């Protein structure tokens, strides 16, 4: 989400490509954010090979601007594309409000594809009524990226480091003596921990009945661990998507980064291309599985060409070709489990010193617990994961007090 912010300020890339097609063609427009334009540049001609009568254009805005624009489009019931990309953090707030076409309807029959998808991602696209409104297009299995050279410098072994969180912190203490930070932001530890150890069907912040889970052990433990890392001075207190953060990747002053698999694409393309071969990927410490990001495709109810839009969505999400292309071109991880046996997954990745990391991502993807998106997620994210967490880490506020304050705020808002 911070990513959102930065790209939003720096540039608003608007791209539209109109394929020259017969006048009788149906026209659909896809609204989204980069780097999906790169994906569509390649996929639209391939799609048109089998569906020549559907002309696809696309309009790209920065991640943040795109979701603001979509909010306005849904509010005024005009101006939205026929297909829209929705980030997972927005899906809970958007999906139950009636703005999207019900894809479980027999005109579309989304359920027939369900078995092909990673199950947790599929269930996140469901509304409270059990119908499918969003189709996942990529997911973010949570992994840890680590600097191999830094690890070697203290004679460490990655399996030992990720064995449990104590070992991870112990590694941080060794690094501290060398003047290297264990992690850019201790908050990331809390962020990934609250995303694991959920019961199926639970939301991140609310249970199935809508009761707050914010003061539960899951949050207390996650905050406690993050606070320990912060208090011992093991993290750099560096926010993501900032100049300092990129510097950490380039200079090797930060040893590990917990993130979605998709970070690889950013690292090798623009964040730290010169560090190729110095990195490795591993499971998250402590044997946990969680997800970090992911995107969905949906059809706004205002679309005049929902059938054509559905054809394009089916092409992008249920066919292996485009799914594997997006893995190769964008580093976006496929949602189709059948692709995981594709040879692409055995390819060694040079940036990660020849590691066959996609196999690791695939294993993680199939173990991630299903988190149910809830309407109050956006508020809770701000109040709990930005507000309370920062107060605990930076201002030394008591964890339980911070969580209770956050919960009170949350319950006032989420009615």
Residues that bind other proteins (CB under 8 A): 2, 5-6, 9, 64, 68, 71-72, 74-77, 93-94, 97-99, 236-239, 242-244, 247, 378-379, 382-383, 386-387, 390-391, 394-395, 397, 405, 409, 412-413
**Alpha-carbon torsion angle 298, 364, 330, 2, nearest 10:** 70
Between 169 and 389, name the residue whose CB sits nearer to other proteins: 389
Nearest distance from C-beta of residue 330 to other proteins, angstroms: 24
Please, what is the minimum distance in Å from the beta carbon of residue 378 to other proteins?
6
- Cα angle vertex 161, ends 151, 360, to 5°? 90
Give min distance, CB of 314 to other proteins, in A: 25
Closer residue to other proteins in complex, CB, 93/103: 93
Least distance CB 235 / other proteins (angstroms): 12
Task: Supply the minimum distance, in Å, between the C-beta of residue 279 and other proteins.
Answer: 21
Return the closest-CA partner of residue 335 out of 152, 19, 54, 88. 88
Closer of 237 and 282 to other proteins (Cβ): 237
CB of 93 or CB of 175, closer to other proteins: 93
Q: How far is the CB of 273 from other proteins (least distance, A)?
A: 20
Tokens representing 213 are 């889970």
Q: State the first-to-last Cα distance of the chain, in angstroms, to the nearest integer.
A: 25
In DSSP terms, 57 is beta-bridged to 29
DSSP per residue, 101-124: --TTSTTT-GGGGGGGB-HHHHHH
Q: Give the nearer residue to other proteins in terms of CB position, either 253 or 318.
A: 253
Q: How far is the CB of 93 from other proteins (least distance, A)?
A: 6
Give min distance, CB of 415 to other proteins, in A.
Answer: 8
Q: Which is nearer to other proteins, 65 or 283 (CB)?
A: 65
Burial 352-369 (b: 16+ CB within 10 A, else e): bbebebbebbbebbeebb
Nearer to other proteins, 244 or 342 (CB): 244
Strand, helix or coil for residue 78: coil
- Nearest approach in angstroms of CB 296 to other proteins is 14
Q: Could you please report the per-residue DSSP string of 272-333?
A: -GGGTTSEEEEPPGGG---EEEEEEEE-BTT-S-HHHHHHHHHHHHHSHHHHHHHHHHH-PB
Which of 323, 316, 366 lies closest to 342, judged by CA? 323
CB of 404 to other proteins, least distance (A): 12
Q: CB neighbours (10 Å) of residue 387?
A: 17
Helix (H) or strand (E) holding 172: helix 165-177
Nearer residue to other proteins within complex by CB, 68 or 173: 68
- For residue 99, CA distances in Å to 63, 64, 94, 302 come to 20, 19, 8, 8
Q: Return the SS3 of 167.
A: helix
How far apart CA 13 and CA 64 sit, in angstroms, is: 12
**Comparison of 342 and 391: residue with beta carbon closer to other proteins:** 391
**407: part of which helix (H) or strand (E)?**
helix 399-413
> Which is nearer to other proteins, 10 or 49 (by Cβ)?
10
């Amino acid at each position: 989400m911070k990513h959102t912010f930065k790209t939003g300020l720096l540039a608003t890339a608007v791209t539209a490509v109109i394929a020259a097609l017969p006048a009788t063609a149906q026209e659909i427009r896809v609204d989204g954010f980069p780097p999906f334009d790169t994906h569509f540049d390649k996929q639209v001609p391939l799609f048109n090979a089998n569906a020549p009568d559907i002309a696809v254009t696309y309009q790209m805005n920065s991640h943040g601007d795109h979701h603001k624009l979509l909010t306005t489009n849904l509010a005024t019931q005009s101006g939205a594309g026929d297909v829209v990309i929705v980030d997972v953090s927005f899906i809970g707030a958007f999906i139950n409000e009636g703005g999207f076409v019900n894809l479980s309807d027999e005109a579309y029959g989304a359920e027939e594809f369900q078995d092909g998808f990673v199950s947790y991602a599929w269930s996140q696209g469901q509304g409270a009524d059990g119908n499918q409104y969003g189709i996942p297009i990529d997911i973010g299995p949570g992994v840890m990226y680590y600097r191999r050279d830094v690890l070697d410098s203290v004679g460490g072994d990655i399996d030992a480091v990720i064995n449990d969180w104590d070992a991870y912190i112990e590694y941080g203490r060794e690094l501290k003596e060398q003047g290297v930070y264990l992690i850019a932001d201790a908050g990331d530890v809390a962020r990934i921990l609250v995303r694991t150890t959920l019961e199926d069907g639970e939301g991140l912040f609310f249970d199935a009945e809508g009761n707050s889970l914010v003061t539960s052990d899951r949050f207390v433990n996650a905050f406690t661990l993050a606070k320990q890392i912060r208090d011992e001075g093991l993290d750099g207190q560096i926010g993501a998507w900032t100049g300092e953060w990129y510097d950490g990747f380039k200079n090797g002053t930060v040893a590990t980064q917990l993130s979605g698999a998709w970070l690889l694409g950013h690292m090798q393309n623009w964040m730290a291309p010169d560090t190729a071969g110095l990195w490795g990927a591993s499971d998250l410490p402590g044997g946990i599985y969680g997800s970090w990001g992911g995107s969905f495709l949906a059809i706004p109810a205002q679309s005049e060409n929902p059938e054509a839009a559905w054809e394009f969505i089916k092409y992008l999400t249920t066919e292996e070709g485009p799914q594997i292309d997006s893995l190769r071109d964008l580093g976006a991880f496929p949602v189709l489990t059948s692709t995981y046996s594709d040879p692409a997954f055995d390819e060694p990745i040079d940036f990660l010193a020849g590691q066959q990391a996609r196999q690791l991502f695939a294993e993680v993807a199939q173990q991630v617990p299903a988190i149910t998106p809830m309407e109050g997620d956006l508020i809770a994210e701000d109040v709990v994961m930005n507000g309370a967490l920062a107060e605990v880490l930076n201002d030394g506020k008591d964890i339980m007090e911070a969580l209770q304050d956050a919960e009170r705020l949350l319950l006032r808002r989420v009615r």
